[in-house]
Chains A and B, each alone.
Chain A
Amino acid sequence: MDFDLPAEDDPRRLEVRAWLQANPKPGYALLFDQGYTVPHWPRPWGLGANPELQLIIDDELARAGIRAPHHKNPVPINNCGQSLLRHGTPEQQERFLKPALACEEVWCMLFSEPSAGSDVGALRTTARREGDHYVIRGQKMWTSLADKAQIGVLVARTDPSAPKHAGLSQFLVDMKSPGITIRPIADMSGESGEYNEVFFDDVIVPADRLLGKEGDGWKLSMQQLQTERVALSRPGAIWGSGPSARELVDGLVAAGRFKNPLVRDEAVGLWIEGEILRLLALRSLSDRMNARESGPEGAVRKMVAAPHGQRVLDLAKRSQGVAGLVKNRDVLPMTQAERGPFSNWDHAFWWSPAVTLGVGTQEVLKNVVAERVLGLPREKDPTRHTPFNQIGKAQPTQKEAA
């Protein structure tokens, strides 16, 4: 056993570093050509890299101050792109993959609806087949990047007479199609445009934009939500990035606030948890490299990481005292030192409640862990086997039931 990361003079590291020196501001197209966007994908898209090489590449990009492509275009790189590799037609792969991975076309993920969040299978948006195209009608919610995206991965109901999960299909939709209306939703962080409502009024989508087969929608969606590419070695607090507990401790020490015994104990508690999260990531990485079946640490890590990140930001915010409540602290009569080390964490704090919601809530994640890993009895969904268009009809009204 050996917990040392690939050394500073690891030849693979030196190779990446040399390339970055020769191409100091590479741009996403060049990064993609070099295989650094999705190194873990097979050629020609990636390098067929093992997790350790992937870690090295991530590390070196971060060290060179390059914003990783998956921040720019998370949907195809983290979640949906691999579906095209596995289930897309050659024409679809040809048309969509390169522009997505080179970040020329941004994608968004059209899953959630007003009546279907955790229960994605309850969605009502329909896709009706008419000859060589489908007609889409319905409303999506919380769609991150919808306003910036050229392509949307849409889940819609193609067969309302099938049970809720069986009648769904996925499409690659042109977000500029006539009939699509996008409205920003302002979130509590005060930054509008983080996500959007998207309305579909009889939007025409050509039949060759169907991903996989009709009825595959649920299966594809579940795969996509699970294939999230994790930031491998960072002790990072929020979705694998964002400030870490190490940085929190450094900041508190630098600001002289680490002497306060209450802050100190809490901060070290978070430091410990951050270290363990980093080690859990290395453990899954190592298991994958040794072709071992990986244990439950992947799901566990996500479950621990989200509230951990919130607590890191919370302590940082509390350490700012009352001044931390002012949005524009530049107006306060404070020196830079008094302002403290966490000034640029402000937005992350006000945004952090989202971390236990997005990509599935903490509660739903715990259900999944308890059921899949520990084998506890599954949650009962009384509508699971009912044809979707019969749900609600055969059931007693609330009054009758009472």
Chain B
Amino acid sequence: MNFSLSEDHTVLRDAAADFLRDQVDLAPLLVPGADAQQAPYDALWAKLCELGWPAMAVPEAHGGLGMSEIDVAIVLRECGRTLAPTPLLGTLAGTWALLAAGSPEQQTLWLPQVAEAGLRMALATAPASGDAGAADADVMATLHADGSYRLSGSSHFVIDAPGAQLLVVAAMLDGAKRLFLVQGEADGIETEWLAWRDITRQVAHVHVKDAVGDLMPGDWDSTWPTLRNRLHLALAAESAGGLQAVLDDTTAYVKERVAFGRPIGAYQSIKHGLADMLAQTECTQTAVLYAAWAQSQDERTATLASAMAQAYASEAYRDATHRSIQMFGAIGFTWEMKNHLYFKRARANAEWLGSAAEQRELIARTLETAHATPH
């Protein structure tokens, strides 16, 4: 048993933190009325590529770094802490989909491009309901006489779709949900930007019209749980970092802001609120590390741990960002402060893969199954 971060982990964490502290500039987003188009996505991505971050989750055999889920969670935590506007999440999601469902040929073709050239990816699986894990999709796939698959329809709420060079698109084929690779520049692709409230992230609907898709062999029912577990971990890791940032910023502020002759941090309701926030931050971070480790174990452990991390993180992050605005007072409610960016990211992270209650339901079913099968 060993629960502590290793030397390598802390080096990675500190390097990521230093880099992002220097490079992430949220100033353009703190101008009233700014939207995600102002987020410095492309510039930051170019720098991340120089550091080799897109190669993180790509196995060494495909030219990547083959880093563990723990390493990835550590980096994502730092991204979440700084709200780094980059297509990293979409690219990781695409990479994981390729690894889970792609053929050896598909992997050999695309993964080295992700690792070496920073090929941007996005995962498009949700129908109009927004349920990324739904059994159905609003895209239809048909097999043409020339042996190619053609996709038509729409995929919704796709994170990092604008600018994605390769999309993993879920479509219905003969009544079953399947995954296809679609090139971002292909004919028949239209990206409809969404005025997503979390402006640190670029999100779009993707409309496809007779676009060519390359069928991935992995079937949906076995691919989705793996993918979902990794996505739960990714969001929870981001949220853990966000919580830490909100805690640190709020703690610093209440030591400085004076009211009635004392720093407001001397007042107990503020103190107790921050003590709770600290507890939630520690709990989230612990759950994230455990979920990251659990992904190297069996599927049941991974499912329980990842859903647990995401359910807990969603609610903790929401509470903390709300409290933080309250503790800053009215200044915390202005567009010029960062508080709302965290508040909105917290909301977005809590909804993108379904609510915390849905993750708890997943846990409930997993526990029931365990109960039904004697161990």
Interface residues, chain A, CB within 8 Å of chain B?
A: 1-6, 52, 249-250, 253-254, 258, 264-265, 267-269, 271-273, 275-276, 279-280, 282-283, 285-287, 289-290, 292, 295-297, 300, 303-304, 363, 366-367, 369-371, 373-380
Contact = CB atoms under 8 A, between A and B. Distances in A.
A66 B2 CA distance: 27
B364 A2 contact: no
Contacts of A379: 266, 268
Given A276-B287, A276-B312, A279-B290, A376 B271 contact: yes
A362 to B, nearest CB: 9
B11 interface: no
A3 B360 contact: no
A386 B148 CA distance: 88
Contacts of B371: 250, 253-254
A278 B169 CA distance: 39
B286 A286 contact: no
Contacts of A295: 282
Interface in B325-375: 357, 360-361, 363-364, 367-368, 371
A269 B1 contact: no
Contact of B286 (A6, A258, A268, A297): A297
20 contacts: A1-B5, A1-B293, A253-B368, A265-B360, A273-B312, A275-B308, A279-B286, A280-B283, A283-B286, A286-B4, A300-B282, A363-B272, A367-B271, A370-B265, A370-B271, A373-B278, A376-B266, A376-B271, A377-B265, A379-B268
B217 interface: no
Contacts of A304: 279, 283
B47 interface: no
A271 B311 CA distance: 12
A156 B350 CA distance: 54
Nearest to A286: B3
A314 to B, nearest CB: 18
Nearest to A276: B283
Contacts of B290: 3, 279
B323 to A, nearest CB: 13
Nearest to B9: A1
B274 A376 contact: yes
Given A265-B361, A376-B254, A296 B282 contact: yes
B289 interface: yes
Given A1-B70, A272-B312, A377 B289 contact: no
A204 B294 CA distance: 60
B251 interface: yes
A363 B275 CA distance: 10
B367 to A, nearest CB: 6
Contact of A283 (B3, B6, B279, B368): B3
A386 to B, nearest CB: 20
A1 B286 contact: no
B364 A258 contact: yes
B311 to A, nearest CB: 6
A258 B283 CA distance: 25
Given A1-B289, A253-B368, A287 B4 contact: yes
Contacts of A1: 2-6, 9, 70, 289, 292-293
Could you tell me the dominant secondary structure of chain A's interface residues?
Answer: helix
B360 A258 contact: no
B271 A366 contact: yes
A249 to B, nearest CB: 6
Contacts of B278: 296, 300, 369-370, 373-374
Nearest to A297: B282
Interface of B: 1-6, 9, 70, 251, 254-255, 262-263, 265-266, 268, 270-272, 274-276, 278-279, 282-283, 286-287, 289-290, 292-294, 308, 311-312, 357, 360-361, 363-364, 367-368, 371
A344 to B, nearest CB: 21
Given A1-B70, A376-B254, 12 more contacts: A1-B6, A4-B1, A6-B1, A253-B368, A265-B357, A272-B287, A290-B4, A295-B282, A367-B271, A370-B275, A376-B271, A377-B266
Contacts of A373: 278
B1 A268 contact: no
A276 B4 contact: no
B4 A292 contact: yes
Contacts of B3: 1-3, 279, 282-283, 285-287
Contacts of A250: 371
B239 to A, nearest CB: 14
Given A366-B271, A369-B275, A271 B5 contact: no
A253 B367 contact: yes
- List 9 A-B pairs, minimum CB-CB distance, nearest first: A286-B3, A370-B271, A377-B266, A366-B275, A376-B265, A268-B360, A369-B275, A366-B272, A370-B275
Contacts of A269: 311, 360
B286 A376 contact: no
B309 to A, nearest CB: 9
Given A268-B363, A271-B367, A369-B275, A374 B1 contact: no
A310 to B, nearest CB: 16
Contacts of A296: 278, 282
A277 B20 CA distance: 31
Nearest to A367: B271
Contacts of B286: 276, 279-280, 283, 297
B261 to A, nearest CB: 12
B293 A3 contact: yes
Contact of B274 (A267, A370, A378): A370
A244 to B, nearest CB: 14
Contacts of A292: 4
B3 to A, nearest CB: 3
A300 B276 CA distance: 9
B312 A3 contact: no
A296 to B, nearest CB: 6
A373 B265 CA distance: 13
A282 B3 CA distance: 7
Nearest to A268: B360
B349 to A, nearest CB: 17
B251 A374 contact: yes
Nearest to B308: A272
Nearest to B301: A3
